[in-house]
Amino acid sequence: MERTFFNGNIRKEHAGQEVSLAGWVANRRNLGSLLFIDLRDSTGIIQLTTDHPDDFPDVRNEYVVAIKGVVRLKEVPNPSLPTGEVEVVLKEMEVLNKAKNPPFIIADKTDALEDTRLAQRYLDLRRPCMLNKLKARAKICKIFRDYFDDKGFLEVETPILNLSSPEGARDYLVPSRLKHGSFYALPQSPQLWKQLLMVSGFERYYQVAKCFRDEDLRADRQPEFTQLDLEMSFMSQDEVLSLMEGFLYRIFKEIAGVEIALPLRRMKFWDAMDNYGSDKPDTRFGLLLNDLSSYMEGVGFAGFEGNPFIKGIVVPGGAAHISRKVIDEITLEMRKYGLKGVLSLKVENGALAGSFAKFLNEEQGKKLIEGLSMNEGDMLLFASSSSRRHIDNALGALRLFLGRKLDLIDEKRFDLLWVIDFPMFDKVEGEDRYTAEHHPFTRPRDEDLPLLDSDPEAVLAYAYDIVINGYEAGGGTLRIYDHDVQWKIFNLLGLSDEEVGRKFGWFIDAFSYGAPPHGGLAFGLERLTMILTGTDNIRDVIAFPKNLSAVDPLSKAPQSVDKDQLDVLGIALTEE
């Protein structure tokens, strides 16, 4: 039979028409004298019906069939389906392929564990919710190309087989057959290549770029992922951010039906860290961090010795909601961040109560209540550390834990902001060198250039991240285009001239031929799709993902290979 319609496209205006359809049997209900079949294809589900069941082949769920029939209006419409006003009265049915009973329910709500679904992903992807997420992903890519094409950007593919370079994570290496002992590296990003395109005079580049990072996995991270990658010349940071906001406006309107307010808020890095304990703050709820150092001056608590950074979170009504059991859960969470736990105080009968209250005199307690605007029944959770970043990161994690535990987060709300003014460097503890906060090609702010010699830790960068609902959904920087500044940055990062020449000489040499001011950004395609489709699992928006052990449960990759393959590459395995 030659298909004339996709199932999900049939509507009431097609009533009376004969149609030819194809798809998978999603559900079958045989009432004896009446048969109903839900037929699914990539566009949706249509209900088939007949009052002569014996005239048609006996089918089961996931059989592949082709049918002919006549569209008619339903007596009782189903408002939950786009095709819910119509059904198709069967005239003919052909079984194109039979199917075994699937190992799990193929529906939006299924009973299968994730590993089971990943092991037979081709069945999991038949679930409409999974298909719709991948449709959203594809639509984001289309909007990306359309928007930046209209803005004069050119799509250029960059190499997959690269030179290994330090970019923040371990490289995936590819051995060379023709040059034994030498390796390519799969790209962690197209960073160097897109900058060279700016040196080449392309001015505006984009790419849907595959990237690879060998790092520990979590719910929002995969070893191979996709960036919506961009680079542009002769643009200021403000111009870059404004251009990106136009793209974000488009995808939120077209994918989620939400019009975001522009321009987006901008928050400085240290404001984000000090108030939210994170450089990707979830601003959909309160519970901001408070600096308690001044309130705790003179407090004779041994745990504060050597720990000048004391911060806490006021939980409104926390005395009634945070039990001993919850405190134990918090303690376990804080141990992940190198803290033994948290201290607590609560307001009871207008004064502070709790085991720590004995360390405070009446005046100190009163100042704390007034300074933090605490009310009856509020609870203060706090801790100390010798490191500003350490205490911020730990209490930022506590803030998110409390937000989820106390159901304070509005999951239906989209909250977007830029985090800007990142530090250029992070000091390596105990060493006279630094690591790059972003990457070694990030441009210092013009006004901070003199500090490279006197106070590198105070240098801020032209760096920016787009944060959506607590996720870093993208980020970028303006790039160094001055040869001398680039070498100075390399030296501060502890790279010798020999190392720079070996790893980046070919790249740096290009900048001696007239490099324009340039900068860029990359959006995480999977993270954008996660956010816009309402999932918190990156594997939901990748057709064939790896699990948390970086294994593909379907193909069982990675696996060992034949010795002959290794011999050709000049590789010998050693016993563990």
Q: Is the confidence at residue 449, as pLDDT, over 80?
A: yes
Q: Is the confidence at residue 57, as pLDDT, over 80?
A: yes
Q: Is the confidence at residue 430, as pLDDT, over 90?
A: no
Provide the sign of the torsion angle of the four alpha carbons 380, 385, 387, 391, taken in this order: negative
Share of the chain above pLDDT 70, in %: 99
Contact in structure between 187 and 162 (CB atoms under 8 Å): yes
The residue ranges of every structural domain in the chain are 7-97, 130-268+415-542, 285-405
User: What six digits make up the tokens of 383?
Assistant: 């801790």
Q: Which CATH class is domain 130-268+415-542?
A: alpha beta
Q: Is the confidence at residue 219, as pLDDT, over 80?
A: no
pLDDT at 231: 98
Question: How far lies 115's CA from each of 31, 111, 215, 554, in Å?
Answer: 36, 12, 20, 9
Q: Is the confidence at residue 215, as pLDDT, over 80?
A: yes
pLDDT at 576: 66
Which numeric CATH code is attached to 7-97? Answer: 2.40.50.140
Asked if 130-268+415-542 and 285-405 have one fold, the answer is: no
Provide the sign of the torsion angle of the four alpha carbons 16, 18, 24, 25, taken in this order: positive
pLDDT at 434: 86
pLDDT at 466: 98
pLDDT at 418: 98
pLDDT at 533: 96
What mean pLDDT is reported for the chain?
94
Q: Which helix or strand (DSSP H or E) is residue 335 part of? A: helix 324-335
Q: pLDDT, tens digit, for every residue of 510-542?
A: 998 999 999 999 999 999 999 999 999 999 999
Taking the C-alpha atoms of residue 530 and residue 474, their distance in angstroms, rounded to an integer, is 13
Mean pLDDT of 147-164: 96
pLDDT band at 166 (very low <50, low <70, confident <90, very high): low
pLDDT band at 167 (very low <50, low <70, confident <90, very high): low
pLDDT at 168: 65
pLDDT at 508: 87
Q: pLDDT, tens digit, for every residue of 381-429?
A: 999 999 999 999 999 999 999 999 999 999 999 999 999 999 999 887 7
Contact in structure between 417 and 467 (CB atoms under 8 Å): yes
Question: What CA dihedral angle connects 547, 549, 550 and 551, to 10 degrees?
Answer: -70
Mean pLDDT of 230-247: 98
Q: Which stretches of 177-319 are assigned E, i.e. beta strand?
A: 183-185, 204-212, 224-233, 265-268, 289-291, 309-315
Q: pLDDT, tens digit, for every residue of 280-320?
A: 999 999 999 999 999 998 888 988 988 999 999 999 999 99
pLDDT band at 220 (very low <50, low <70, confident <90, very high): confident
Q: Which CATH class is domain 285-405?
A: alpha beta
pLDDT at 384: 95
Share of the chain above pLDDT 90, in %: 86
Secondary structure (3-state) at 462: coil
Q: Which helix or strand (DSSP H or E) is residue 570 part of? A: none
pLDDT band at 379 (very low <50, low <70, confident <90, very high): very high
Taking the C-alpha atoms of residue 244 and residue 229, their distance in angstroms, rounded to an integer, is 11
Q: Which helix or strand (DSSP H or E) is residue 519 part of? A: strand 518-524
Contact in structure between 196 and 482 (CB atoms under 8 Å): no
pLDDT at 102: 95
Mean pLDDT of 443-457: 95
Taking the C-alpha atoms of residue 25 and residue 22, their distance in angstroms, rounded to an integer, is 9
pLDDT band at 370 (very low <50, low <70, confident <90, very high): very high
Q: pLDDT, tens digit, for every residue of 132-142?
A: 999 999 999 99
Mean pLDDT of 58-65: 97
Contact in structure between 330 and 398 (CB atoms under 8 Å): yes
